[in-house]
Structures are given as C-alpha cells and as structure tokens.
Amino acid sequence: MVYNLKDKLVVAVSSRALFDLETENKIFEDKGLDEYYSYQLKNENSPISKGTGFRLIENLLKINRHFSEKEKQVEVIILSKNNAVISLRITNAINEYKLDIARSGWTSGRDLSSYLQAFKVDLFLSANDADVTKAIKNGVAAAKILPTGKDVHSSLGDQVRIAFDGDAVLFSEESELIYKEHGLEAFIEHEQQNRDKALEKGPFAKLLLTISAIQEKFKDKESPIRTALVTARSAPTHERVIKTLNVWGVRVDEAFFLGGSEKYEVLKAFGADIFFDDQDVHLELSSPVVPSAKVIHKSLEAHQKTLAP
C-alpha cells in the first residue's frame, strides 16, 4: 500500500538539529571525515542528548495520538548528510526516546534540499546555513536551529506551541526592507498607505496555513497546537497584519505587537517549543530561554552588507 505524505504536516529534521551532536561536529571540522566516522561507529550504542529541535518534534508527534494510524497528521523524517553506515546511532537514540520516526534519508554529503520536494516537506530544520538557504530557495519553509541551554528542553506540556515573527517570516521581506533602507517613518507611512492591501506571503506562510488546517479539526475541543505572532510592529502598522491574516482565512491564537521592545520574555511566558525569526538581535536573547531558529534571507543579508561601513 502506498503511504501518502500529501495531506500531512511533514517535518524534515537533520540529526544535528534533533540531537546534541556538537562534539561530533567539532571532530568532523577539526579532524576530518574519517575520524568523525570512526567516533560515531565506536559510540554506536552511546546515548545522545536532546538537541534544540527535540522539544518541537516530540510534541508535534504527540498530535498523532488524537488520530488513527491512517489519519495521523504529522510525519517526521530524518534527513542527514551522514552516511547510512553510521545511522544506527541516530536510530538507537530515536528508539530510546520513543519517537515515532520511521522514515529517513542519508546522502553521504550530498545536498539535502533536492530531496525536500520528494518527501513533500512543509518544514525543514537544520544546523547548517547553506542547507537552510537552499531549502528556502526551493520554496520550503526552513530555519537554522540555534544552540541553546539544556534547561529549555522540557516543554510546558503536550500542546505544541509555535511562535513566529511577522515580516520576512510569515510575510514577505518587502516591508522590512523599506524599514531598513528608509527608516521607521517611511515604514509607517508605507504600511498606512497599504493597510487594506494584504501582505505577500513569506517563507513560513504555507506552514501556518497547514497548521491552521490541523487546528480546524479540533473546533469543539482544545487544539494540540497553539500559535503566536510575536512582532516588533505596533499600532498603527499592526492593522495590515490583522487584515492580511483575515484575507488568508487563518488565525493565530495569540498576537503580540511589541513596538520594538524585547521579545524573549513574551516567548518564555508563551512557552514556545520553537520561535522563528530572521533577526539575530532577537534570536540572541530568545535562544537561551526557548528553542529558537533563524530564517535566513539572502536578500536581507545582501542589503545589510550594502549598508555596512
């Protein structure tokens, strides 16, 4: 029987995003591939600690408890540049943590992004900048998992809590580029002039729509997913955001328009299992308190370089 991935929320995660493999990665960087393979094989049965993406993946998989095997909503796939020979250590860790992950791909160093469409991936989490950038170019929501402290690996409960930044994440980078190039006043004027025009979809818009479709299945009871928009926008520029979500026919459970104030305390109070943002200034403060991931935009980075002295 063919297993259809089309109507599911499909998350592909690299082994280094799911587990703490920083020691192993340093061996690879400092001593090369042969030493890395040797270390992994020698430690095939050694335990692996949870990585930044573990909390999100664990709680996403719990959504399937509400559905039959045929109707389960979430599929998680391991996609790794490792060789299949050393995959057993990762498999052992998956079994140890009782994660329902059956599918994987091991490419022996080959680019992962070309396989994302084949697996119908909605979200790709990796610890590698280049892999994330290529995935976004291929139209897949992708983010670079950031290192974080061990104390953030325990979630507040079984409900998945996902927090998104707005511009350049849920929405296109158009308005953010205006702010960066022309300043706050020009940004406010532009948003007021276009308040009735829906923002273009950003790299994570499709993911939000997919999550919303799952939430619709829980109309009469508490959803196992809760979402939050946490943005530096404030009145009056928040109007365009609200109208855009209405046009898309999608809701977020909580929305915070912070007007440039710090996001990390709100994210901690929300209990985010993951926070997606494109700006280091916010992620540097959020990653010590909640699992965080960077959405990489080449257009924004190129623009930033042109502004550099």
Question: Do 295 and 276 touch, CB atoms closer than 8 A?
Answer: yes
Residues 6+ apart with CB under 8 A from 100: 61, 64, 76
Question: Do 290 and 309 touch, CB atoms closer than 8 A?
Answer: no
The kind and range of the H/E element at 102 are none
Specify whether 280 is catalytic.
no
Nearest residue to 203 (alpha-carbon basis) of 287, 299, 292: 299
Catalytic residue among 122, 165, 277, 278: 165
Give residue 245's identity as a one-letter amino acid code.
Answer: L
How would you label 40-71 residue by residue, b for 16+ Cβ within 10 Å and e otherwise? beeeeeeebebbbbbbbbbbbbbbbeeeeeee
Nearest residue to 263 (alpha-carbon basis) of 297, 286, 293: 286
Question: Do 230 and 164 touch, CB atoms closer than 8 A?
Answer: yes
Burial (Cβ within 10 Å: 0-12, 13-18, ≥19) of residue 221: exposed
Which of the residues are catalytic? 165
